[in-house]
Structure formats: C-alpha cells, structure tokens
A and B are shown apart, each in its own frame.
Chain A
Amino acid sequence: MNLLPMLIVALMILGGLFAFTLMTERRVATAEKRLAELENDK
C-alpha cells in the first residue's frame, strides 16, 4: 500500500497542532508567572 505520503501529511498536521498548542500552554504559564511577578513588584 502506498500510504506513506498520507501518513507523513497527517502526522505533520496533527503533530504540528499538538506541538503548537503544548508550546503555547508553556508560554502562557511563563507569561502568567511574569504577570504575577510584575503585580507583586508594583
């Protein structure tokens, strides 16, 4: 079966979506920590 190209496409799309969302989650957590620090400093 010639499924490899489709497997690559599907994994790139879904993997990309998951990776992007997990990275955003980490970024948001860092930004929330920074916001709390800024509010404490104020």
Chain B
Amino acid sequence: MTPVAKGALFVFTAACLSYIFLKLPAAQGFANPDLARLVTMHLPCAYVALVAAVIAAWHGIAYLRKRDLASDIKSYIGAKIAFLYCFLTTITGSMFAKVQWGSFWNWDPRQTAVAVLLLVYAAYFTLRASIEDPERRAALSAVYVLFASILTPMLGYVIPTFFIDQSLHPKFAKFDVSYRMAIYPMAIALIWHLVWMFRLSVRAEKVNQAIAELDLSSEGGMA
C-alpha cells in the first residue's frame, strides 16, 4: 500500500473513532449506555471475520481448480485474518457482555458458537502444521478451509439467530442512523486495513518460502 493510502486509512480510522467518542449519543436501553458504544467495535470485527473467511474460501477454491500454491498461501493468510478477527469479536463481545449482562462469559449460544469457530480455525492451523508435503497440505487445507468458511456465518449468525430461541443477543438487532453511521464506516476502515494486512502477509509468506528454499539449496550444495 502506498504511503498516501496508509495515511488516508489512518485519517479515516481516526475520524471514525472521533465520531464514536465525540458525536455518537449514548445507547439508550442498555445497562451502561456509555459503554454500550462498544458495539461499534464489536460488530465491525465480526463483519471483517466474515469477509476474511470468504477470501480464504475463494482462494481455497482457486487452489482446488488450478493447483497453484500461491492460492494456497492466500487462502492460509485469509484464514489467519479470519481467526484474528473472530478472536477480536470474542474479546470485544466479552467486554460488552460484562457491561450489559454482568459477566464476561455467559455461555450464550452465539458466544459459544464463536468459541467453537475459534477451535475450528485452530484445527485448520494444526492440520497445516502436521503435513509436510506442500501439495498434499494445500489440497487438504483448501477443502478444510471451505468447511471453516461455511461454518463462519452459520455459527456466527444463522444457527444462533434462526435455530436457537433463547439467547442474550437480540435476534435481529436494529440500530438507529447515528449507530449505523459509526458501525459501517468502522467496518470499511477495518476491511481497508484487512486488504493492507492481507497483501503484506502474502508477500511475507512468499519471501520466507523463497529464503527457506535458497537456504535449503545452499545447505544441500555445501553437503
């Protein structure tokens, strides 16, 4: 990303934060109306986790179609970012739960489902770490990441919303305009940041692989 784009992202994120802290009215109807504004961080993190899961699945499918290891790297990075944002969603959600429901963890269906999702992604990283052959690792990972990516909206939204009746989370949260004006721009800022992080991580992974290959070949040459 160019320095101008980075600067623009920084200014845009700072503007989003300024709006949240200086303009956004307290959320009425919550136990702590001031701190309930945390939802403006919590929801964008969940949206970005979903976007990252779609990116991981997209590149997983691309690998299965073309057998290009570059797609495997992109799919892996997408899954890593999805895991990161699922984790951030859980952290901000736990803080919101403490403010609103009195405890960091309530075994609410949606909280539990996202915890399961974190374990699903953890299993993906374990799977990758356990296979040495790059082609086999890429093929199995691509299939698994499709499964994980389908589970992301299912566990994060569909199952807790449509299949479980008792939940502390509202089934269909409705926000007024002032909150939508905070949530959507923050989601855009985080997705913008995701693009930056994604490209950079793909570059890092490729360079590390190239260095490892060169190191291996030079070791082989010396032997």
- Whether A associates with B in a native complex is yes
Establish whether residues B204 and A17, one from each chain, have CB atoms under 8 Å apart when the complex forms. Answer: no
Asked if B92 is at the interface of the complex by the 8 Å CB criterion, the answer is yes
Inter-chain contact B35/A6, CB cutoff 8 Å: yes
Question: Is B137's beta carbon under 8 Å from chain A?
Answer: no
**Chain B: CB-nearest residue to A24:** B200
CB of B135 closer than 8 Å to a CB of A? no
Interfacial residues of chain B within 27-64, with CB under 8 A of chain A in the complex: 32, 34-35, 37-38, 41, 45
- Closest Cβ of chain A to B23, distance in Å, is 12
Query: B92's contact among A9, A11, A31, A35, by CB below 8 Å, is which?
Result: A9
In the complex, what distance in Å separates the CA atom of A35 from the CA atom of B201?
Answer: 16
B211 and A38: CB pair below 8 A? yes
Which of B26, B88, B204 is A28 in contact with, Cβ under 8 Å?
Answer: B204
Cβ of B113 to closest chain A Cβ, rounded Å: 22
Chain A contacts of B201 at CB under 8 A?
A: 24
Number of A interface residues at 8 Å Cβ cutoff, please give it.
26
In the complex, the answer to whether A14 meets B17 with C-beta atoms within 8 Å is yes
Closest to B196 in A: A21
- What is the CB-to-nearest-CB distance from B125 to chain A, in angstroms, rounded to a whole number? 18
Decide: B41 and A25 in contact? CB cutoff 8 A.
Answer: no
What's the nearest-Cβ distance from chain B to residue A6, in Å?
A: 5
Q: Are B204 and A10 in contact (CB under 8 A)?
A: no
- Please state if B92 and A2 are interface contacts (CB–CB under 8 Å): no
Scan B173-216; emit 1 where CB is below 8 A from any A CB, else 0. Answer: 00000000000000000100100110011011001101100110
6 further interface pairs, Cβ-Cβ under 8 Å (given A2-B32, A13-B41, A38-B218): A2-B34, A3-B21, A9-B41, A14-B13, A17-B193, A31-B207
Q: Which residues of B are interface residues toward A (Cβ below 8 A)?
A: 10, 13, 17, 20-21, 26, 32, 34-35, 37-38, 41, 45, 88, 91-92, 95, 190, 193, 196-197, 200-201, 203-204, 207-208, 210-211, 214-215, 218
A contacts, CB < 8 Å to B = 1-3, 5-7, 9-11, 13-14, 17-18, 20-21, 24-25, 27-28, 31-32, 34-35, 38-39, 42
